[in-house]
Amino acid sequence: MRFWLVKQAALIGAVVGACASLSPSIAQTTNVGDWPSIGNDAGGSQYSPLDQINAQTVKGLKLAWTHRSGDVSEKGSATGATALEAVPIHVNNTLYYCTPFNRVFALDPATGKEKWVFDPHSAPAGAKPLIANPRKSGICRSVAYWQAVEPQSGKSCEKRIFKGDINGNVFAIDADTGASCQDFGAAKGHPGYVTQLDFESYGTNDPVHGMTSGPVVLGDIVIASTSAKDSTADANNGFVRAFDVRTGELKWEFDPIPPEHVHDTGAANVWSTISTDPERGLIFLPTTSPSSDYYGVNRTYDVPLADATVALSAATGKPVWHFQATHHDLFDYDLPGHPLLVTITKDGQKIPVAIQQTKQGRVIVLNRDTGVPVFPIEERPVAQSTIPGEQTSPTQPFPVLPEPFSRQTLTEDDMWGLTPIDRAWCKSHFKEMRYEGAFTPPGEDGSLVFPFGGGNWGGAAFDQKNNLLIMKGQNLALRVKMIKKTGASSGPDDPLSGADLSGTPYKIELGLFLSPLGAPCTPPPFGTVTAINMDSGKVKWQVPLGQAKYFGITAPAFLGWGSPNIGGPMVTAGGLVFIGASLDGKIRALDVSSGQELWQHKIAAPGMSIPMTYLSGGKQYVVIAAGGNARVTNDLSDSIMAFALPDQKNP
């Protein structure tokens, strides 16, 4: 172990030295009141030092303005139903965000009025649009910002916005005017953007290159990930590529699949957010399951960079260290959010760490320099597969600490229902399924995946003042059944309904474990917010999040049922946790010391995003995208909503 640590330290030292050329652009000018990337700082802490809005003043928070892009569509429309999960950024005295229809808006941060709009699908009369693909709804969680060290006045594209799309393109946009930066990608014959389609993807089926969580900028490179159809046995590989911010020249590419197996399996991609460490010259990736996600007979070899926190060298794109959270994944246990790169206080020492949330409702805390766990993690025996030829991993990693932020086990007596009949149905069906803990493999007789969705995208923030990790979680279970194919197979390809596991003998049926009345069979609370003390690893407090709604009736808050949720929290120096996420369509402010709700406000649709905050004209604003997600709710909108304290009246 000691030799390994010395070797890793030496490698990291070499990486940091190699990344010295990155440092001038890393020191880009931002203000304390900015929110320059999706998680605010490069490490994605989702923390703001602003405190104008605090536990004493938050009750006076009012709606300041609403911006509506017009980019919203319902199920069955030609463009597809929308999901607005954007986290605006505030930098360059402007608020920037992207829409489900592939547009970027630049807004006045004090009024919400439009400064410019970028649309690659349209062009002035007589001109051609940047891309010919028809407009289609897609998730866009963020854009990225870059500026030259000393921007030259009057010269275009000295400040740039980068935006990815569902077709694998990354656009470069003048941050001041909204014009396309025509030098970016010009050498490849498409001025204004680079595309993943210019590069090898491997995989036997058509590659899926689209981005959902946006690129990130580190120094003078922009880093973009790719999607993958992980229900396919040999999907496209989950490449992450770095491009020169000015020219779009490929600087390096990272492939999580072992080179000897690039034609055997795929995926292990990054669909969620990415964090960076400018000081160390590292890029942190949360990778996903290899393909196919529920069937592993075709991949009995190790894929160590799948389902892993991976620290890459920003100079070379080579892994410096990694930690795998799930071995030989048969459960679709993708890592759902970026590692939070923060400094915790533990045993009287300041320790730089990477904090990784998981779908199982657990937290993995890794030393940022070495990848060694800061809290103990045990390899424990797990249930084995009944699928012929499947070689289940004999053990899986279980963090001893920090304590989990969602429920970890189920029994027949735990089954829940809105009525006694409802509960009896849940108990009966629970007994019919195989369930032997968190890593129960799927089989032909049906099984239960639980915990499921304990953590999902956006779900963590770190309060550096109080050494608290704020986690958003949920307690749901997924029914899984493998079905032997008898001929050509088709049907849905959806993480909540099922898929044809192309290239395998099986298709899979999926569904949330719900009663006939549509309520979870798992006991409430269905959604929670949790604060974990990062010195002890113990839960300080946990409260239900949101209010569940059944038959058009919202359950009273005092029942403590909480709500299924998508999105994450923000924490501020004002002692507040801001969060939307819940299905009841509200944004809330909680006291960070106790979890007590101090303020709430109805918003246009569920805020399935991360709130952000900034300072403009001396006033602090809190902003959330309130647009919902058509996969889980019929309440959809195109609203960006900003809240602020009223101006003080002169006596």
Catalytic residues: 332
Render 257-313 in DSSP notation, one character per residue. Answer: S-GGGTTT--B----S--EEETTTTEEEEE--PBSSSS--TT--S--TTTTEEEEEE
Which residues have CB under 8 Å from 505's CB, separation 6+? 484, 485
Which residues have CB under 8 Å from 579's CB, separation 6+? 472, 529, 545, 567, 568, 569, 570, 587, 588, 590, 611
As beta bridge partners, residue 222 has 217, 243
User: At which residue do the structure tokens 């029914």 appear?
Assistant: 479
Q: Give whole-number Cα distances, 189 to 71, 183, 194, 208, 248, in Å.
A: 30, 10, 9, 22, 11
Query: What CA–CA distance (Å, rounded) separates 245 from 616?
Result: 28
* E strand or H helix that includes residue 26: helix 23-26
Length of the chain: 651
Task: Indicate the residue type of 161.
Answer: I
Task: Indicate the residue type of 610.
Answer: I
Output the six-digit token pair for 126.
């007589």
Which residues have CB under 8 Å from 60's CB, separation 6+? 645, 646
Render 506-558 in DSSP notation, one character per residue. Answer: EEEEEEE-B-TTS-BSSPSPSEEEEEEETTT--EEEEEE-SB-EETTEEPPGG
Asked if 111 contacts 178 with a C-beta cutoff of 8 angstroms, the reply is: no
Output the six-digit token pair for 519.
């309520």
Pairing between β-strand 340-346 and β-strand 349-357 as defined by DSSP bridges: antiparallel
Q: Is cis: bond before 258, omega within 30 of 0?
A: no
Query: What CA–CA distance (Å, rounded) separates 280 from 13?
Result: 8
Output the six-digit token pair for 178.
């909204």
User: At which residue do the structure tokens 């008898």 appear?
Assistant: 486
Query: What CA–CA distance (Å, rounded) separates 239 from 230?
Result: 14
Query: What CA–CA distance (Å, rounded) separates 635 from 374?
Result: 42
